[in-house]
Amino acid sequence: MNIVVCLKQVPKKDSILRIGGDQKWIDYRDISYEMSEADAYALEEALRQKEKHGGEVIVISLGPERVRQSIKEALAKGADRAIHLQDPLFDSATDADGIARAIAAALKDEKYDLIFTGLQSDDYGFAQVGLIIAERLGLPSATIVMEVQPEDAAVRVKRELESGWFQWVKMSMPALLTIQSGINQLRYATLKGIMAAKKKEIREVKAADLGLTAEDLKPGQVVDRAYLPEKTKRTEIIEGKPSEAAAKLVEKLRFEARVF
Amino acid sequence: MRIRNPQSEIRNRLGYKMSQGILLFIEQRDGVLNRTSLEALVAAQGIASQTGEKVAAVVLGKSVSSVAAEIAAKKLEAVYTIEDDKLAEYTPDGYVSASKQAIEQLAPRLVIFSHTYQVRDFAPRLAAQLGKTFVTDCVGFRVDGGDVIFTRQVFQGKLNTDVRVISAPPALASFQAGSYRADKAEAGDSPCPINALSVNLSDTQIRTQPEAKFQEAKQAVDLTQAPLIVAVGRGIKSQENIELVQKLADALGAEIAASRPICDNEWLPMDRQIGSSGQTVAPKLYLAVGISGAIQHVVGMKNSQTIVAINKDPEAPIFDIADYGIVGDLFEIVPALTAEVLKVKSES
Ligand SMILES: Cc1cc2nc3c(=O)[nH]c(=O)nc-3n(C[C@H](O)[C@H](O)[C@H](O)COP(=O)(O)OP(=O)(O)OC[C@H]3O[C@@H](n4cnc5c(N)ncnc54)[C@H](O)[C@@H]3O)c2cc1C
Ligand SMILES: Nc1ncnc2c1ncn2[C@@H]1O[C@H](COP(=O)(O)O)[C@@H](O)[C@H]1O
């Protein structure tokens, strides 16, 4: 069973985000990066399926040179090969449509049974790229997946619904699934894996290779302005050394909020 | 987002002038209206009142008359129903096909959804089939000279963006649960007309077969009854450190709860998870330790009476809903707080 994993590199979770000079996005200076959380789980799920059923895990990522770091991490964890969509033209693909269009085009001639994406990225958080890829490749899909059971030519998946509800859904393969964090327990790359990764293929793909022009990647929506959310509620920030702050808080909880 | 003014007065097949209008997607399950659709209605009515447009609603399913009647009491131009055996159970293929036909017939310039799990499951496909842009998970809007600018959060709520649509209408937009209050939905003076839309699903292939919905084995703890909750998030860093927070909970006589990553890592059991995919609680005290305050967590605890946040990042979104906050290292603050609580309790 061959599985493609769409992997996005995003600023690390605890990055201090500053607004960039153009006020439209963040300032990328001094930022370090990691795989978007749900994508790490998608990769892990693909590796586990491969260990059970055989086949190949192919990772695909669209982004600048730095993205190679995350691609290499995926290869070190056990992915077999990678496709890196890197081109200045892809910088203009700033909405889900453009990103999905490029990824779908790059997968057109691949042989796969399943495509995994994360359910949403940690930076843009469109929650769209996976399904647009599915639509463009004509695949059935399921979102927010918490378990994957291949059955011959079909796949049965457990979808998470709101408030602790679930539902199994079955469809034929090939199919696209968007994976939810927590579907499995993540592994670490081993030294052996890191060494083996050095020999694995990372194929670079340019926009022209896919026949895509700037016009094709033009977004349908743009960010006018990025800014820190205004506080709507007045939080009383309690200052002081830990022991002082603790004493003040307990006092407030007892006599203002009367919670104990 | 800027929705360009459409070339006036395109009449659609039904003869309704919807080219200026807003179409609201109503979600129902087993004939019961999803309350978040009413929140999205508030957004739709708010936009419409500023652009001078009308709002119509569309409901899909097998028998949706009671939901349609309920929603028709609101201030709307019309409610459209689409009933078909193929829509008895939600499937992405059925819903994409039916709503695509509805949008083509009614030709709105804006289609509004609530950002539910169901909408996440089909609306991006719908937008792709229509070749239209979809602004997801919005928390607000502003009308600027007839153009609608949407507010959406990025980086898990750490930043906001103002988003403008630059492609031809219709555009799709979904609103995050909790962005508007359902009880603010305006009622109509009299019920609006309910019209059946006819769509053709005979050629629509349903490629996914859903089974019955279910809940996992009964929850061992019912956090909804706990008056005091201490909740721990990823800031705790490792499983061994959970004990630190457990001690604080014990000192307070509180239940321990967690954000999703803690349960994903199996550091605490699933039934202690608070949020959209966990439990919803409203205790007297909710003390959040090392939790950033992502919306999927916040929806599960924002109605708590008193919220306290301990976080090293002064910009963490959790401080936006906290009554009291301590900015600092939880590994220093939590033990100090535990000691203080024990001291106070032994004195009284
Ligand atoms: C469909 C969907 C459903 C979801 N359902 C849920 C749900 O039900 N419940 C839920 O919780 N999440 C849910 N999530 C995940 C949610 O989006 C967030 O990813 C999650 O809530 C983040 O958890 P966290 O705040 O513990 O971690 P993070 O966001 O990583 O935050 C950790 C915080 O700890 C702080 N910190 C770090 N070190 C220290 C220190 N030493 N001292 C003090 N503070 C420190 C950091 O400043 C940061 O604010 C869902 C997501 C999706 C997409
Ligand atoms: N630039 C990218 N490269 C590879 N995969 C991506 C990229 N952007 C998004 N994806 C995939 O699509 C998922 C959903 O992203 P989004 O629609 O931005 O929330 C992510 O979790 C990834 O799996």
Give me the pLDDT at residue B217, please. Answer: 67
**Beta carbons within 8 Å of A89's beta carbon, 6+ residues apart:** A206, A207, A212, A213, A214, A217
For an interface test with A, give the residue of B96, B237, B324 to mutate (most A CBs within 10 A): B324
CA closest to A10 among chain B residues: B155
Q: Is B232 in the pocket of ligand 1 (CB under 6 A)?
A: no
Q: Please indicate if any CB of chain A lies within 8 Å of the CB of B252.
A: yes
B88: closest CA among B121, B116, B61?
A: B61
**DSSP SS3 for B22:** strand
> What's the mean per-residue pLDDT of chain B?
93
Give me the pLDDT at residue A162, please. Answer: 87
CA distance B243 to B329: 16
Find the A186 Cα to ligand 2 centroid distance in Å. 19
Residue whose CA is closest, atom 1 of ligand 2?
A62
The two three-digit tokens of residue A100, written as one number: 């999905």
Q: Is B278 in the pocket of ligand 1 (CB under 6 A)?
A: yes
CA distance B312 to A40: 26
Residue A17, strand partner residues = none
CA distance B169 to B7: 10
**DSSP SS3 for B218:** coil
Residue B95 pLDDT > 80, yes or no? yes
ipTM reported for the complex surpasses 0.85:
yes
The per-residue pLDDT for range B286-309, each reduced to its tens digit, is 999 999 999 999 999 999 999 999
Find the A119 Cα to ligand 1 centroid distance in Å. 16
| Residue A126 DSSP code | -
What angle is formed at CA A104 by the lines to CA A100 and CA A110, rounded to 5 degrees? 150
Number of residues that make up chain B:
348
What is the CB neighbour count within 10 angstroms for residue B215? 11
The two three-digit tokens of residue B143, written as one number: 């009308």
Give me the pLDDT at residue B218, please. Answer: 66
The per-residue pLDDT for range B2-32, each reduced to its tens digit, is 343 333 344 444 444 445 799 999 999 889 9
Query: For tokens 């408030």, what's the residue?
Result: A163
B10: closest CA among B143, B237, B169?
A: B169
β B285-289/B306-311 pair status: parallel
Q: Do B308 and A253 touch (CB under 8 A)?
A: yes
The per-residue pLDDT for range A48-62, each reduced to its tens digit, is 999 999 999 999 999
Residue B93 pLDDT > 70, yes or no? yes
B296: closest CA among B203, B176, B180, B198?
A: B176
Q: How far is CA A216 from CA A97, A127, A137, B219, in A?
A: 10, 21, 17, 50
Q: How far is CA A66 from CA A28, A44, A71, in A?
A: 12, 21, 9
The continuous run of DSSP H or E covering A135 comes out as: helix A129-137
**DSSP SS3 for A78:** coil
**Beta carbons within 8 Å of B346's beta carbon, 6+ residues apart:** none
| Residue A115 DSSP code | E
Q: Is A4 in the pocket of ligand 2 (CB under 6 A)?
A: no
> What's the mean per-residue pLDDT of chain A?
96
CA distance B112 to B136: 10
| Residue A162 DSSP code | G
- What ranges make up the beta strands (E) of B126-219? 134-144, 147-154, 159-165, 171-175, 194-196, 208-215
Give me the pLDDT at residue A6, please. Answer: 98
The pick from A3, A4, A5, A6 for probing ligand 2's pocket by mutation, whose C-beta has the most ligand atoms within 8 angstroms, reads A6
- Tens-digit pLDDT string for chain A (260 aa): 999 999 999 999 989 999 999 999 999 999 999 999 999 999 999 999 999 999 999 999 999 999 999 999 999 999 999 999 999 999 988 999 999 999 999 999 999 999 999 999 999 999 999 999 999 999 999 999 999 999 989 999 999 998 889 999 999 999 999 999 999 999 999 999 999 999 999 999 999 999 999 999 999 999 999 999 887 778 999 999 999 999 999 999 999 989 88
The pick from B291, B302, B319, B337 for probing ligand 1's pocket by mutation, whose C-beta has the most ligand atoms within 8 angstroms, reads B291
Number of residues that make up chain A:
260
Q: Judging by beta carbons within 10 Å of its beta carbon (0-12, 13-18, 19+), is residue A22 exposed, middle or buried? A: exposed
| Residue B319 DSSP code | G
Q: Is A122 in the pocket of ligand 2 (CB under 6 A)?
A: no
CA closest to A160 among chain B residues: B277
The per-residue pLDDT for range A172-224, each reduced to its tens digit, is 999 999 999 999 999 999 999 999 999 999 999 999 999 999 999 999 999 99
CA distance A17 to B158: 8
Query: What is the widest separation between alpha-carbon atoms in chain A?
Result: 68
